[in-house]
Each structure stands twice: as structure tokens, then as C-alpha cells.
Homo-oligomer: A and B are copies of this chain.
Amino acid sequence: MIEKYSIRTDLALEQKERFEADNVEISGVVLEEKYDEERDIKVTTVRIETENGARTMGKPVGTYITLEAPELAVPDEGYHREVSEEILRFLRRLLDMGKEDYSVLVVGLGNRQVTPDALGPYVADNLNITRHIVKEYGKYAMGKDQVRLLSAIVPGVMGQTGMETVEIIRGVVRETKPDAVIAIDALAARNSRRLNRTVQISDTGISPGSGIGNQRSAITEETVGVPVVAIGVPTVVDAATIVGDAMENLIAQMERSETMKGVGVVLQGYNAAEKYELVKELIAPHLNGMFVTPKDVDETVKRISFTISEALNRLFA
């Protein structure tokens, strides 16, 4: 196989798959799969347990729960409610809500003006914010014994603010002292079939360079001062990834092709580095900064953002 190049994914699940495809065993990474046939929801939990596993996976130690629900792109209200409950269950697992009273800041990452990147802002738009009410009218204003303070911010992207997103969040966290941050972001997947059908929830925050806008700095417990749970939905594939993937497949198919047996024989004689050179140039540099997304991305992003808001609203109800 050709060496991996320019392949980018924000999904731990897809990172794991790449190694499996190559039959590489990764120590320190545990995978668990569950499939709910009736509702056609597949849940994969990737647990990166050691620093070695983290290095190989290129993702920090922690738990990554991925929910694949093919019907998520379809306007079925009942189905969305079930996915919403699933997300709620995972959030409860990853957030340490042991304390009686709890305060969370939701951060809607991404660019509201670019449709596939607007997931975070849209989720923030539909939250039932309570922090100011409790601050003003006291603990019992919400009619509960337990206080759940929900606040939210849509920080914008660096081209709009001139600031690293982490600077804004760290500043807001220091002033308003939430117990945790939940960061919502649109992600890049490797496989276009996963777009708008997948939700990844992790307790590791946001890694540098992930998301659509490629924010450079990490949003993690280390950088903002409180635990960060991340909820991400892949809405784009990097253009370079889709092209690289297709060409890799072309070469693989040539090697196996009956019609082109001759080509295959020759190709097998070349090493990965040589093939890599061949492909590299074809992924034109102007493809950097380009992404692939479906034409109906407006409807699917809107719909999934509701499903996530719903889970968050229940968590804090």
C-alpha cells in the first residue's frame, strides 16, 4: 500500500479504521462496538489509554464515542428524538455531573456564515440558557432543588475576530468559572458517507487543527482550565483527502486488475515512496483550503443541530 498522505479525519473511529485496513495492531487503543439493529444506530467507543496509543492515533488519551445513524440526514422527528436521547446518555457518561449543582459553558465553534461550519452556532441558538436567571433570581427560580447553570458563547472564527478561539474561551472561563465546557464543532471526515450521519462525543476537548476552519490551538482542560467535552459532527471531507483516496484506490485496483495485469505487475515492483511521489503532485496545492460537502447541507446541519440542542436542553432541564 501507498503510504498515507494528506489524509485527514477528525473522527477517532476513522483513524482506527486506517490502521485496521493495514492490519496494524495499535497497543493502548481499545475498540468497542454495539449495533442497535432495530433503530439502525451503531455506537463505537474508541478508548485511547496510553501515551503510545495517543501518539500512533494522533489524538489525545481519552474516550471517543461515535454514533452512526444513517437516518440522521432524514427528517424523521421520532428518530431524531431517539438519537437525541442517545447523545444525552453519552454526555452524562463523559461529564462528571456527580456534584449537586453544576455549571457548564457551551461553546458553539465554527463560522455561522459558511453553512457546513455553522453547526456549533446553530446548536447554541437553540439552547435554553439559564445561568443569568439563576444568578438573578436564585436557586429556586427554575423550580428545582438542583442548580444547573447553562451559559453559551459563539466566539466566531479567527478571520472574523483576529483572536485564537482558545483565547476567547479561556478569558470567558476565567471570568464566569463554569465547571466544564462543552464544545460543539463541525468536523472533517475521511469518508463522505459519514457526513451528517455521525456524531462523535469525546472527553478530550478539541485537538489543534481539527474542525473546518482549522483553528490552530487546542481547546482542552490544559488550555482553558476546566474539563472540555467535545461534540462533533462531520459535515465536510477535505478536498485533498477525497482526491488522494480516489487515487490510492485507482492504483490498488490497477494492481488487481485483470485487464491491466501488466500494469499491476509493474506497479508491484515499485515501492510506496515512488508511488507516493507520483500521487503527491496531483493533489494540487490549491486544493488546500477546499472542502467537499453535500448540496443539501443546509437542511441536514439545521436538523442535526436541533437534535444536539435537544440533548443539551434535557441535560440541563
Q: Which residues of A contact B (CB under 8 A)?
A: 75, 111, 113-115, 117, 124-125, 128-133, 149-156, 158-164, 167-168, 170-176, 192-193, 212-214, 239, 242-243, 246-247, 249-251, 253-254, 257, 259-260, 262-263, 265-267, 269-270, 274, 277-279, 281-284, 286-287, 289-299, 302
Could you show 24 A-B contacts with beta carbons less than 8 Å apart? A113-B298, A114-B298, A131-B163, A132-B158, A132-B163, A132-B164, A153-B163, A154-B156, A159-B296, A167-B176, A168-B172, A171-B175, A174-B175, A193-B286, A246-B283, A247-B250, A253-B282, A254-B278, A260-B267, A260-B274, A262-B262, A263-B266, A266-B266, A289-B296
Closest to A113 in B: B298
Interface of A: prevailing SS: helix
Query: Given A152-B161, A170-B171, A250-B282, 20 other A-B contacts at CB below 8 A?
Result: A130-B162, A132-B158, A132-B159, A133-B162, A149-B162, A154-B154, A167-B176, A170-B175, A171-B176, A192-B287, A214-B295, A242-B287, A243-B246, A253-B281, A259-B274, A259-B278, A260-B266, A266-B266, A290-B292, A291-B295
Q: How many copies does the complex hold?
A: 4
| B residues less than 8 Å from A132 (CB atoms) | 158-159, 161-164
A278 cross-chain contacts in B, Cβ below 8 A: 250, 253-254, 257, 259-260
Across the interface, A295 reaches (CB within 8 A) one of B114, B174, B286, B296, namely B114
- Of residues A151, A152, A263, which shows the largest number of chain B Cβ atoms within 10 Å of its Cβ? A263
- Which residues of the partner chain B approach A213 to less than 8 Å between Cβ atoms? 295
* Residue numbers in B under 8 Å from A124 (CB-CB): 160
Interface pairs A-B: 8 shortest CB-CB:
A171-B171, A131-B162, A151-B162, A262-B266, A113-B298, A171-B175, A129-B162, A167-B175
